[in-house]
Structure 1
């Protein structure tokens, strides 16, 4: 089975060589439309569509299945990254989506799950010119983008509540896209996190603000003369993991994971049971040790959450 991707959709081609494993993916997609499908044109722009095409009998030669990733992300909210990794392993997605541990949450205690909004930058092959005044130094970013172009200009207007902005800087060294001010623009639009394989600067302020940023390292320098932004809402790679617009991405203190939207709900439901089993086992240990219960062993809260989610 071949997965054909473009920024707004995923085409699942179930051809004559479809395997039993492939059929499982198609069955899962059909289940998604029964459980979570909705007409996204009136809800989200752009939608994430799953197209089931080819020779497999799926009631018609081709179907369009609307899957709302902003609804599916809710199934991940209580989960730990470890639970989700177990769920991915459980469906045979070993090591798929595991982001390199070089990319880490900037501060301890960070946790988020969201829908990927992707941005791609590349190392610049042109230097920044000498600036003639203090005013120009202050406005260096604007001057740079005015001359070089900025394919991600106005990206904030495209963000929706629940988005995670995932930024590939093309292995550029000693630079990043994010700092203490522009990260807040993501939160203003309802974004829940930022992930980059580059640097983040102003990290003292980012930590003070508790802005949820995962990055490769702390930095100091600005964009001009170092990177150029070339496109957004396209397939990118981050820390050895493929990320497409609409995939589910998340982090906690253990690291980061990317879950392909086609399998996201299945993974989440497996991961929920992993979490509950672990909570019950830990609660028994708490009782033997005379430890007071805390939120991490409150299975009733998890059961209520999923019951309300439906």
Structure 2
């Protein structure tokens, strides 16, 4: 396979079986709608629903994991004029050396989701094709921002799992600054805390508070399986070839240990 045909590798491989000790694994096969229905069922109406404008950048994306959070604000300081091509290429390094740059811890467990509160500032491509791949190499299964992402054609080609409100063009220096990591944030109109379970698919993004995540996973799994059984009957009556969305045996086998 040529480089042009090769999608970006994902170091965090899908799990073969659900692990009761790993909350993220309990959500692997679930749809966002299953989880939304389960949250409704325990009285958490509209809790965790991100703004519908915060959407996957390419169709077919799905991920679940524990949130790792970043909070940004407008920098309120302009970038200074750079004097050479070399410095312009190194603008981010120069900016960060001068102003500082908070980063997420390096020891986050594999399978986390980076969730970014962009601070409501003007257009800035805080996330792009290179640094999102960097997040994946450190174990992230997804990146979510309620701000901008740039290099979006490359992100789609790479199949890098990025969710954003807007597609942008500009770079970080002089526009945005990370002021807190691993704190409680607001993203897409909903609260997100480190350890909350976050997921996305083509329908959007949802956040499950950690204290109810185990219970919600149980109810959502039952909702999914009931839907699969009903849809499979329609497939059979219509003579449609069965696909993975009605592969009940695979889902039941995956959750066999929980």
Task: Tell me the TM-score normalised to structure 2 length.
Answer: 0.91
8 Å CA contact retained: 1:194, 1:214: yes
Which has the bigger relative contact order, CA under 8 A and spacing at least 6? 2
| Cα displacement (A) at 1:173 | 1.8
Of 193, 197, 213, 2:146 maps to 197
Corresponding position of 2:224: 275
Of 284, 299, 304, 2:248 maps to 299
Greater Rg by CA: 1
Corresponding position of 1:228: 177
Q: Aligned pair 1:113/2:64, yes or no?
A: yes
Stretches of structure 1 that go unaligned for 5 or more consecutive residues are 1-34, 37-67
Q: Aligned pair 1:75/2:26, yes or no?
A: yes
Of 273, 289, 298, 2:238 maps to 289
| Cα displacement (A) at 1:156 | 5.9
Q: Aligned pair 1:218/2:167, yes or no?
A: yes
SS of residue paired to 1:117: strand
Q: Aligned equivalents of 1:75 and 1:90: distance in 2?
A: 18
Corresponding position of 2:50: 99
What CA RMSD, in Å, does the superposition of the two structures yield over aligned residues? 1.2
1:82-231 maps to which residues of 2 (within 5 A)? 82-152=33-103, 155=104, 157-231=106-180
Corresponding position of 2:8: none
| Cα displacement (A) at 1:288 | 1.1
Task: Tell me the TM-score normalised to structure 1 length.
Answer: 0.76
Q: Aligned equivalents of 2:188 and 2:234: distance in 1?
A: 36
Corresponding position of 1:54: none
| Cα displacement (A) at 1:85 | 0.3
Stretches of structure 2 that go unaligned for 5 or more consecutive residues are 1-18
8 Å CA contact retained: 1:79, 1:275: yes
Of 166, 182, 188, 1:239 maps to 188
Q: Aligned equivalents of 2:207 and 2:247: distance in 1?
A: 26
Q: Aligned equivalents of 2:157 and 2:114: distance in 1?
A: 20
| Cα displacement (A) at 1:188 | 0.8
| Cα displacement (A) at 1:169 | 1.2
SS of residue paired to 2:126: coil
| Cα displacement (A) at 1:280 | 0.5
| Cα displacement (A) at 1:122 | 0.4
Deviations 1:198-254 (A, max 9, x none): 111111111100000000111110000100111100000011110000000000000
Deviations 1:21-79 (A, max 9, x none): xxxxxxxxxxxxxx95xxxxxxxxxxxxxxxxxxxxxxxxxxxxxxx6xx011110000
